[in-house]
A and B are shown apart, each in its own frame.
Chain A
Amino acid sequence: MSLAVSLVLSFFIAGCYGLHGKQTRHSSSVVQYLYPDKENVADAPSIPVLSLPIKAGIAFVPDTEMTGSPYRLSEKQKLDIMEQIANEFAKYPFVKSIERIPTAYLRPKGGFTNLDQIRTMHGVDVIALISYDQVQHTSEDLLSIAYWTIVGMYVVKGERNDTNTMMDTAVYHIPSRKLLFRAPGTSQTKGSATPVNLAEQLRKDSFDGFVKANSDMIANLHAELERFKEKVKAQPEAYKVVAEPGSRGSGSLDPMTAILILMTGGAALWFGRKKD
């Protein structure tokens, strides 16, 4: 219910900002993709069963807004950005593969039904959904953009010919509908265009904005992944982990148990001798 109210509020805020000055906007939203109508907002996630090593997918959610923007990220540019993210996270030993999923496979407002289809087609249980919001201001007005993510709203100040970019990656476990973790990335490119080269410079700034925001987002994703690992350790009842065929297993005595056993055993020996 609160998410539904927030959704309505975010559209209202975004709409208000759109009324001031001249700006071009280029965005996509995970919220609109996963929860296109209010009834689905109440989807209750279940306990995720993570099969190690994880086969993950990565995809851009479909565009939802193109206000006066002549630019849009091409499919090749999206694939390049996804490649960069995939290369960063494929290094982790618990990641088996990261499949880059072209945007054409994601239907606007497709929701989890669409993700279920992607899961079947690409054999992935976990998916990283990338959304973005880019605004370029070409008026003298001092403007702001409001970006709504799955967990909160970001407000960024903008000035003439500035390019403000916000990217956000939300990592979901598809079968359980559970958001595992998320991380944003932002960038602000100061306007240097003159009226002569305005269109060309704005186009260049647009792509540069995505590249910088992506680098910022990757750093934040690494940090969020570390936090997620700690969370899984601390809440084993909330995340179940199973071995997939082909996985590596080990017997391991954790430091806490090992020290407790050694201390108690040592005490037993010491007391035994002392009494003897």
Chain B
Amino acid sequence: MVRTEERLAGAPVTLTIVAAAAAAQLCPPVAEALVYDRGAILGGQMWRLVTGPLAHFSEGHLFFNALVFAAAGYLAERRRPRFFAWLCLASSLAASFFLFFLSPGIEVFGGLSGIATMAVVFLAVDEIRAGSRSSLLWSVVLALTAGKIILETALGSPLFAAVEGVVLVPSAHVTGALTALAGQGFLLQRKAVPDPSA
């Protein structure tokens, strides 16, 4: 029991984000206050640029996004706690700015999948760079993620994809993956990559 609590305490950002997303789903007024809403942002509610991914449009939409983020985020945050927190913030802002400036047709946006994609890519690259013995499997994880992004970008948004009436926005996953790669590039440049297994 103590070990579980210690482990959870080791990933406070991941835990907070998942808990906030679940709370927003349980309390619709909270979700409405957090969701990316272009009109409200133009009206000055700038926090929505950061909090948008916490809102979801159905329980199913939340479940798989949160499941992947919780798993990948927990591991990534345990390796680089402070840096991962900044990456979550950067990933959320990158997705929102992309939508705001390049997809003005999207009025409302929600979903953790962009940040989840960032966590998966960051963790996989981190493992490969650290010389993990299962680098090949981590490469498969990267290939799966890249394949999904390429397919959904090339084929467009499948109608009724996750939630009826909601268009799938592949740019959220692209910005998530790019944020992770930029983060790794930053670490590499600073040569601040201590061996995580050390």
A251 with B173: CB separation less than 8 A: yes
Given known A248-B106, A251-B53, contact A240–B156 (CB-CB < 8 A): yes
Contacts of B164 in A (CB 8 A): 92-94
Find residues 86-136 in chain A having any chain B CB closer than 8 Å to their own CB: 92-94
A50 to chain B, nearest CB (A): 6
The distance in angstroms between the C-alpha atoms of A9 and B90, with both chains bound, is 66
Contacts of A275 in B (CB 8 A): 133-134
The distance in angstroms between the C-alpha atoms of A3 and B180, with both chains bound, is 56
Interface size class of A (residues with CB under 8 A): 35 or more
Is B104's beta carbon under 8 Å from chain A?
Answer: yes
Residue among A233, A247, A261 making CB contact with B105, cutoff 8 Å: A247
Contacts of A242 in B (CB 8 A): 156-157, 167
Residue among A229, A236, A249 making CB contact with B169, cutoff 8 Å: A249
B111 with A252: CB separation less than 8 A: yes
A252 with B61: CB separation less than 8 A: yes
The distance in angstroms between the C-alpha atoms of A241 and B152, with both chains bound, is 12
Contacts of B75 in A (CB 8 A): 269
Is A195's beta carbon under 8 Å from chain B?
Answer: no
A94 with B160: CB separation less than 8 A: yes
Residue among B68, B123, B140, B167 making CB contact with A258, cutoff 8 Å: B68
A69 to chain B, nearest CB (A): 41
B137 with A271: CB separation less than 8 A: yes
B166 with A250: CB separation less than 8 A: yes
Find residues 51-67 in chain B having any chain A CB closer than 8 Å to their own CB: 53, 56-57, 61, 64-65, 67
Is A223's beta carbon under 8 Å from chain B?
Answer: no
The distance in angstroms between the C-alpha atoms of A261 and B173, with both chains bound, is 14
Given known A252-B162, A275-B133, contact A236–B108 (CB-CB < 8 A): no
Contacts of B53 in A (CB 8 A): 251
Contacts of B165 in A (CB 8 A): 52-53, 92-94, 248
Residue among B111, B134, B158 making CB contact with A268, cutoff 8 Å: B134
B103 with A243: CB separation less than 8 A: yes
The distance in angstroms between the C-alpha atoms of A260 and B144, with both chains bound, is 8
B166 with A248: CB separation less than 8 A: yes
Is B113's beta carbon under 8 Å from chain A?
Answer: yes
Is B50's beta carbon under 8 Å from chain A?
Answer: no
Residue among A237, A243, A253, A276 making CB contact with B68, cutoff 8 Å: A253
A264 with B137: CB separation less than 8 A: yes
Given known A92-B164, A248-B57, A249-B106, contact A269–B113 (CB-CB < 8 A): no
Is A42's beta carbon under 8 Å from chain B?
Answer: no
Find residues 251-269 in chain A having any chain B CB closer than 8 Å to their own CB: 251-255, 257-258, 260-262, 264-269
Is B93's beta carbon under 8 Å from chain A?
Answer: no
Is A152's beta carbon under 8 Å from chain B?
Answer: no
Contacts of A232 in B (CB 8 A): 158-160
